[in-house]
Structure 1
């Protein structure tokens, strides 16, 4: 497993509700860095700080993942179960694949 890689991706809704799989600490950090300032809250600050600590190697990727899940859940962007939607949509795109 690559350093910073999550055991399982966290699927979140971005933009106009597109599911994106966040697979590692750097992708989580990028998502949180791009989060609008007006929508930042305590869960955002905790998750962002966890990402920074994960990048520095101070905490493990699964701790970062847990803070990302909490952030996503509190902001109603967490996709709880991608099994059914994935069957209808195909695999969720990875972070960065929606650029265009």
Structure 2
């Protein structure tokens, strides 16, 4: 796609790509390129709708915001829409919380008893 004729989005779409990595899709060309790279085995109805919406936006038959919404729906359905929560940090914090809960639920040892 020619970057000179690309159509920037008003607000980029943030998607998760890998463990804790975010990628911002900021233009129509970026949406189309991302969709074309999507694995064929994972392409479904939402994927087809998003790709078609991008094609229609490219020709002017659909508003760019509508194509963006279709891409958002695809990303949400595919489970790649960035939620703002870093999965690595979320797992680490959950592990810390579990440890605190376990320690809080253990019976208190007497001060004069040796620890094992």
Match of 2:44 in 1: 41
Unaligned runs of 5+ in 2: 87-116
Determine the C-alpha separation between the residues in 1 that align with 2:70 and 2:14.
Answer: 14
Cα distance, 1:20–1:73 mapped onto 2, change above 3 Å: same
The structure richer in strand per residue is: 1
From 63, 72, 78, give the equivalent of 1:75. 78
**Alignment RMSD, CA only?**
2.1
Structure with greater helix percent: 2
Which protein is bigger by CA-based radius of gyration?
2
> Which fold has the larger relative contact order, with Cα–Cα distance below 8 Å and residues 6 or more apart in sequence?
1
Cα distance in 1 for partners of 2:7, 2:23 equals 18
Secondary structure of the structure 1 residue equivalent to 2:38: coil
The alpha-carbon distance between structure 1 residues 15 and 56, as it changes in their structure 2 partners (threshold 3 A), is farther
TM-score norm. by structure 1 comes to 0.73
Does the alignment pair 1:31 with 2:56?
Answer: no
Cα distance in 1 between the residues matched to 2:69 and 2:32: 13
Residues 1-100 of structure 1: pairs in structure 2 closer than 5 A: 4-80=7-83, 82=84
Secondary structure of the 1:46 match is: helix
